[in-house]
Homo-oligomer: A and B are copies of this chain.
Amino acid sequence: MPEASIASAGPVDPALIEDLVAASRILAQHGVLDAWGHVSMRHPNNPERYLLSCARAAGLVTADDIMEFDIDSNPVDQRGRRMFLERYIHGEAFRARPDVNAVVHSHSPTVIPFTVTDEPLRAVSHIASFLANGCPCFEIRDVGLTQGLLVTTKEQGAALAKVLGNNPVALLRGHGNLVVAGDIPRAVHRALYTEMNAQQLATALSFRKPIKYVQPDEMQDPKRLIDAWEIWKHEAMKDMK
């Protein structure tokens, strides 16, 4: 792909970039992002742009790694930097969901078992009540076979966004999940507690007794529950040198 030449949507408040970097670091520190997952945010000046690091492990991302992409996932200013092949997951989620300003794609360890069985991943803890309606699961073979199960085209990204629908989380069979939210702290909250809830549900299922899932009418207001950002960021950034 030739280097694109598109005008930037303009500089971004360094505090927002710091939060995007912190999100990568937090999710890496908690084991939700391995060496390959990524977090992005919609550009605050232009809804047709988004910000995502160059291809680098989440635990090493710094502000200098953040790149700008257009909604088709073309880089605005590549400068030779390697890009995530799966950035279309982000671009197409931003396109399909105007309410979404932050996107996480992870290989969340305990989410995988739910992607390869038809055991539903639903909320058992109120902190994961955003999962009260369950998670749809994306089967990439419905779109066409791909090497390594990767989502590497706009068409695949759009098909995944369609499966996501209005949900906060979609599963990818044999691969991981897609987590979206209105802002970075809430996306981090959802990514962390999708993993935690998966662990708790797996234990509950092992008892072989009926499960009392959190009910839709018990969901927390999605505007709540971001106090935790202070400690998550504190702990992730003190590791950063």
Contacts and interface: CB of A to CB of B under 8 A. Distances in A.
A137 to B, nearest CB: 10
A175 interface: yes
Q: Is the interface of A mostly helix, strand, loop or mixed?
A: loop
Nearest to A129: B148
Contact of A60 (B125, B207, B234): B234
A182 B150 CA distance: 22
A127 interface: yes
B34 A127 contact: yes
A93 to B, nearest CB: 19
Given A34-B228, A147-B218, A218-B149, A204 B125 contact: no
A212 B174 contact: yes
B210 A117 contact: yes
Given A116-B212, A200-B113, A230 B174 contact: no
Interface residues of A, number: 62
Contacts of A173: 212
Contacts of A149: 126, 129, 214, 218, 220
A206 interface: yes
Contacts of A113: 124, 200-201, 203-204, 206-207
A175 B109 contact: no
A206 B204 contact: no
B218 A148 contact: yes
Nearest to A59: B231
A206 B205 contact: yes
A153 B118 CA distance: 39
